Amino acid sequence: MQTILSNILAIYRKELQSYFASPLAYTVAGVFWLIAGIFFAGILFGEQGLIGQAASSDLRAQQFGFSPFPIDMPYTFLQFFLGTLGSLVLFILPVLSMGLYAEERKRGTLELLATSPITNWMVAIGKLLGVVTFFMTMLLPLLIYEAIVFNASNPPFNFTTVLVAHLGLLLLAAAILSLGMFVSSLTDSTILAAIFTFALILLLWGIDLVAKSVGGVMGKALGHLSLLKHYTNLVQGVLDVSSLVLFASYIILGVFLTAQSIEALRFQRT
């Protein structure tokens, strides 16, 4: 047990270190912060922004002499902001996960891992934890913005709702990264890995739309696989067990498939 943990930790550290040493990772983080910042500012202060809307609705209420329509500002903001972040990470995460195995295969370092006394499971778990941790550090600056906004909000914000929404974002990211890791283990081209990961998660993102046209039991079953549906659930503050199970399933499935695909290489390698 101790060796399992120390092996996972070794892979985790190595993976994290390689992200912090990688210009690509910083570029991805920079782009993410820029776009997230634009959304953030747009949602709050833009012409159609929340603050503007609230002010004009207050003004109209005063003019026509009825009491202002109540807006739960922090909640509405959370909906908009995390909703857009959810779409944004669809584009960002495949770039983070694309190199997880493809890079090892290309460099030949998989030969080192495959001939070391460490199981494919440990490698996959360590790698996933590493990339999820890097994504969490990417979220940190955004949390600071949010903290400022929520502190100034009126009515005061509901801490649990905010927490559940962010848990949703984290789970979504972990699920996408886990599937991306699997796709990355299938090829030694990082570009291919990114493209196929993006295609896969785009499909899973909106699969409930497809499911509606399928109809029947099949359609219902497909509808439950949708990332968007379950993400929206959590962002709305609904801590639905089925959503947690779905994300956990995707994460475990990704790790499982990765370990299997690397194991299969050991038997089929040419």
| Residues at the interface with other proteins (CB under 8 A) | 3, 6-7, 9-11, 13-14, 17-18, 21-22, 107-119, 266-267, 269-270
- Contact criterion met (CB below 8 Å) for 220 and 86: no
Q: Can you tell me the distance from the alpha carbon of 160 to that of 240, in angstroms, rounded to the nearest whole number?
A: 14
The CA distances from residue 176 to 21, 73, 117, 140, in Å, are 23, 30, 28, 19
Q: Can you tell me the distance from the alpha carbon of 19 to that of 25, in angstroms, rounded to the nearest whole number?
A: 6
- Contact criterion met (CB below 8 Å) for 253 and 176: no
- List Cβ<8 Å contacts ≥24 apart for 81-85: 81/39, 81/40, 81/43, 81/146, 82/165, 82/166, 82/168, 82/169, 82/235, 83/232, 83/235, 84/39, 84/43, 85/36, 85/39, 85/142, 85/169
Give the residue with the Cβ less far from other proteins, 12 or 157: 12
Give the residue with the Cβ less far from other proteins, 89 or 122: 122
State the nearest-atom distance from the C-beta of 107 to other proteins, in Å: 7
Beta strands in 76-220 (DSSP E): none
Place of tokens 């779409």: 87
State the nearest-atom distance from the C-beta of 6 to other proteins, in Å: 7
State the nearest-atom distance from the C-beta of 16 to other proteins, in Å: 11
Give the residue with the Cβ less far from other proteins, 58 or 111: 111
State the nearest-atom distance from the C-beta of 118 to other proteins, in Å: 5
Give the residue with the Cβ less far from other proteins, 19 or 77: 19
- Contact criterion met (CB below 8 Å) for 89 and 172: yes
State the nearest-atom distance from the C-beta of 115 to other proteins, in Å: 5
State the nearest-atom distance from the C-beta of 193 to other proteins, in Å: 18
Give the residue with the Cβ less far from other proteins, 11 or 85: 11
Give the residue with the Cβ less far from other proteins, 102 or 169: 102
Per-residue burial over 251-267, b if 16 or more Cβ lie within 10 Å, else e, is: beebbebbbebbeebee
Count Cβ atoms below 10 Å from residue 166 Cβ, excluding itself.
19
Give the residue with the Cβ less far from other proteins, 74 or 130: 130
State the nearest-atom distance from the C-beta of 109 to other proteins, in Å: 4
